[in-house]
Amino acid sequence: MENKNFFKDRILPIVHKKIFTLIVILVAMVILFTIWAAAVGKNFFAPSTFKNILQSIIVSSFLTIGAGCLLITGNVDLAQSMFGALGGMIVAACIKNTLPAGVAIILALVVCAILGAVNGVMVAKLRFPAFISTLGMSYVARGFIYISSEIATGKAANINFNNPVTKWLGSGTFLNLPVGVYFMVVFFIIYGILISKTKFGKRMVMVGGNPVAATLAGINANKIIILMFINAAVLGGVAGLFNTSRVQQGTINAMGTAQFTGLTAAIIGGISFGGGIGGMGGAFVGLLILNTFQIGLSVVGINPFWSSVLSGLLLLVALGIDTFQMQRRFKVKKPKNDTVKEAA
């Protein structure tokens, strides 16, 4: 009897948490790929693979944090990755014109923040649909990438540069792990605490869950949404900074495929598409799942073209799980037959 209670009180709540499911999926995926790789004569379960996975999630982790926070307030920013590419290009252009790296980075992040604020004002104040206005902004940002490169060097092309600070950010290591990994973990912890432990985080969740009720409760929903758009854009800029630093090049087509990476990882990680549900822990595991999946596929030797197909399917599956859980949450529970009899 006592055992059963212990099971009910202690174990079941953990099992029912979304993050538990996610970790199970992650572990299952690692086991699957290990077996699959062994079957085709490759090695998946090796330190180098996990290092690869960590290295590959650095850039997308910042996108995920930004997109996740925004998604919690019920909005989407499709321009985020382009802001990142723009930020990277601005860093490259500034360093090329002999500005110190610190100034270049601050300038890039400020430009990203301004563009993010434009996004936020359009969505919160003017009530534009977030999808479509940020899609427009992504074109604007892409145009700015070309233009900033043209201003810096006279023609729209990739800019190579060499700078010790960015080199350290991009390819420096500390305790045998890339420096970016530490930044990523710190960011995840800070944002995780912000969302789940602070008043501001509670307000964010409330704005996402029910904007009207939040406004009636005296929360300035517009301010929070605009702040989150700025936050997403700046984090996009940070992602772009790490991306640029790694290759020591401001690339024109940078992050072209990352448009939905942050969004996908956040949705896989249990941040509900309608807003108001989710946290950073889930988003982190979601990101790990996404990248383990992709790196696993490449280790096993699947044609890289398939990975686009499978990533799309993964997004749809995550959406399906999200929708299914929402439906179950809002379904009215029918009383069981025997309880009805007892009542009668």
Partner 1 sequence: MNRESTFKRIMRNKATPLLIILIIMLIIAMIMTSGVTKGAPVSDMFTAGFMAKANIQAQLYKMVIQICMMCGLACIMITGNIDLSLAAQATLGALIFANCAKVMPWGAAVLIAFIAAVVFGLINTFMVNVLKFPSFIATIGISSVYGGFCNVITGGTQVQIAGGTGFSAIGTACIGPVPVMFIFAIVLLIIFQFVLSKTRFGRSMFMAGGNPMGARLCGLNPDRLRMVMFILNSVLAVLGGLLFSAQLSQAHPTSIITSAPNMTAMSATLLGGVAFMGGSGNLGGPLVAVILIDVFSNILDLLGVGSHWIILLNGVLLLVALVIDYVSETRRARAMILAATKD
Binding site for partner 1 (CB under 8 A): 122, 126-129, 131-133, 135-147, 150, 156, 260, 263, 273, 303, 305-313, 315-316, 319-320, 323, 327
Min CB(102)–partner 1 separation in Å: 28
3 vs 327, beta carbon nearer partner 1: 327
Min CB(211)–partner 1 separation in Å: 16
Question: Which positions ≥6 away from 130 have C-beta within 8 Å?
Answer: 75, 76, 77, 123
177 bridge partner residues: 174
Min CB(301)–partner 1 separation in Å: 15
Question: In a 10 Å sphere around its CB, with 0-12 CB exposed, 13-18 middle and 19+ buried, how is residue 329 labelled?
Answer: exposed
105 vs 115, beta carbon nearer partner 1: 115
Min CB(251)–partner 1 separation in Å: 14
29 vs 156, beta carbon nearer partner 1: 156
Cα(329)–Cα(327) distance, rounded to whole angstroms? 5
Min CB(89)–partner 1 separation in Å: 12
Tokens encoding 224: 């929070």
192 vs 278, beta carbon nearer partner 1: 278
Length of the chain: 344
Q: What is the DSSP letter of 121?
A: I
* CA neighbours closer than 13 Å in the CB half-sphere of residue 146: 6
30 vs 225, beta carbon nearer partner 1: 225
Q: Which of 90, 235, 64, 234 is nearest to 166 (CA)?
A: 90
54 vs 71, beta carbon nearer partner 1: 71
Cα(23)–Cα(31) distance, rounded to whole angstroms? 12
Min CB(322)–partner 1 separation in Å: 9
* Coarse DSSP helix, strand, coil percentages of the chain, rounded to the nearest 5 percent: 75, 0, 20
